[in-house]
Amino acid sequence: MIHEGMTKIAWRLRWLMLFSCLLSLFILNRADWLLRPEIFVPFCILAIYNLVAGFVSPRPSLCYAESLLDTIFITALIFWTGGEESIFFLFYLMVIMLAGLYYRHLSAFLLTLGVTGIYILFSILSENSITIPYLILKVYLFFGFASITSYLSSELWAGIDTPKDTHLQVEDICFKLRQAVKTLESESKKLSELYNISLRLEANGNIGEVVEATSSLLGSQLNLVSIFDEKTNRLKIEASEGISADFLSGVRKGEGLIGKVIETGNATVINGLSKEKGPDYLPYKNMGIESLALFPLSVPDGTYGALVCGFTEPKILFPQERKFLSLMGNILAFYLENRNLHGEIKKLSITDDLSTLYTRPYFVNALKKELERSRYLKRCFSIVALEPDGAHQKTTDLQRLGLLIRSAIRGKEDIAARENERFYIFLSGTREDGAMIMVERLKKMFQEKGIEARFGLATYPPDVDGHEELLDRAKKRLEEGR
């Protein structure tokens, strides 16, 4: 059974959907849709059908045909305007709304399931990588909107068989629909901001933008990202906005509220901080914070830090806001994990795994840059080449030599590299007499370990002008046994 009042609502909504699509296409400067039969033909069929539908009695078969035409038209629009990244996915919500008005819960659920399957297929076939949190939120919106619409529709259906005033029922439903649309707009804004944040993080690595976005969306006065430094075993503030919270810098894992969040990986949300007792709450109270939210930056392998939001007024975080902060924490955690992995990969690519010194290509590249800088600044530097005798060229000996050389280097800009059985040391801002002191120190260290080695030394200036000549001069003097 299809109620006539439902079809009138759906009839008006379909006109709204068609004109909204047209307006969006013109705003996006996509007027060439008229030349696309996969867009133009379904649009014409829907428009003609909607004209005729205003004069015929509703039938179930026609309603199924309407849903099919609506889905084909919106799917074609999404495919033509960018697939997963198309903004026209929002019109799927109107298709779901129309289904909720026409059908009972099961049929509306099946249509929503089909629409969701089509959209997931778009994401899988997309050339861009899938943003899982973004996709999950969209699926959540589809089913959430279907649930809201089905519920409101069932309320309207129930009112048909009661003596209640139909006009008042419709007004009540329209009010609820308006509230649902407002909620949808708010969720869409947060979803869009999450997506933009993930793109900006990947592009420029500015965590401060994440903190600013959180402050803007939630209206929080205390906003910061604190990261756990494994070297110092303490927290450091990576970015902050609003009220200063310097006391959080240097906190150990497990200490205070934020330390416990990082240690356990569990979020903490407190409303009414002034009523809480204990030393962990006192620093926040002194800043005038009344409500506090701490969310971990967690990945499956551990927790990198915490996202902190504080409010000077009582604030109850709604489930959507908690979900937003949780997803923000996940985005930051995956960014930090990728940043660490990139650092490890870069370190491995320029480090010799046997001696833990730099590789020769990295050493030569650094030498080129230093030569240009020294010419400009008119300063000197030296190169020391050394090679152990044949009895000390085993793998274990080369490892020991690498460790000894690394311990002997003291200047921040000094570096060392290995090439087969030969080692090179770059001494920034060091003349020949200073380099000779380094050679003598190395000889003494080697003798204490029972290692014999030959050394070669070259200095810029005045020995040579080019980096290759400088290396050759050091090698020649090494071979001469100097």
Give residue 425's pLDDT band: very low, low, confident or very high (50, 70, 90). Answer: very high
Whose structure tokens read 């139909």?
166
Rounded to whole angstroms, the Cα distance separating 244 from 246 reads 6
Convert 34-73 to b/e letters by CB count within 10 Å (16 or more is b).
eeeeebeebbeebeeebeebeeeebeeebbeebbebbbeb
SS3 content of the chain, % helix, strand, coil (to 5): 65, 15, 20
H helix intervals, 256-357: 256-264, 282-286, 319-350
In the block, which residue shows the tokens 């943003």? 131
**Helix or strand run (H / E) with residue 14:** helix 4-27
Q: What pLDDT, on the 0 to 100 scale, is given for residue 295?
A: 92
Q: Choose the weakest-confidence range: 3-7, 10-14, 430-434, 456-460.
A: 3-7
Residue 465 has a CB neighbour count (10 Å cut-off) of 11
Distance (Å, whole) CA 438 – CA 436: 5
Q: Positive or negative CA dihedral for 256, 258, 262, 266?
A: positive
Per the CB < 8 A criterion, the answer to whether 435 and 442 are in contact is no
Q: Give the best-scoring range by mean pLDDT among 44-58, 155-169, 315-329.
A: 315-329
| pLDDT at 384 exceeding the cut of 90 | yes
| pLDDT of 31 higher than 80 | no
Euclidean distance between CA atoms 474 and 276, whole angstroms: 70
Mean of the per-residue pLDDT values of the chain: 79
Q: What pLDDT is stored for residue 323 in this prediction?
A: 85
Average pLDDT over residues 166-188: 75
Q: In Å, how far from its chain's centre is CA 389?
A: 52
Worst-scoring range by mean pLDDT, 41-50, 179-188, 224-233, 363-372? 179-188
**Sequence ranges of the domains in the chain:** 4-204, 218-347, 358-479
CA distance 152 to 6: 12
Q: 392 or 92: which carries more pLDDT confidence?
A: 92
First to last CA, the chain: 103
- In this structure, the number of other CB atoms found within 10 A of the CB of residue 278 comes to 7
Percent with pLDDT over 70 in the chain = 83
The whole-angstrom separation of Cα 149 and Cα 109 is 11
Single-letter amino acid code for the residue at 242 = G
Helix ranges (DSSP H) in 161-274: 166-204, 207-218, 256-264
Q: Name the architecture of domain 358-479.
A: 2-Layer Sandwich (3.30)
Rounded Cα–Cα distance for residues 345 and 368 (Å): 23
Confidence of residue 164 (pLDDT cuts 50, 70, 90): very low
List of residues 6+ apart from 261 with CB closer than 8 A? 267, 268, 294, 295, 296, 303, 306
Helix (H) or strand (E) holding 227: strand 222-229
Measure the CA angle with vertex 260, ends 259 and 262; round to 5°.
65
CATH of 218-347, one of 3.50.50.60, 3.30.70.20, 3.40.640.10, 3.30.450.40: 3.30.450.40
Residues across the chain: 482
Name the pLDDT band for 55 (thresholds 50, 70, 90). Answer: low
Residue 1 has pLDDT above 50, yes or no: no
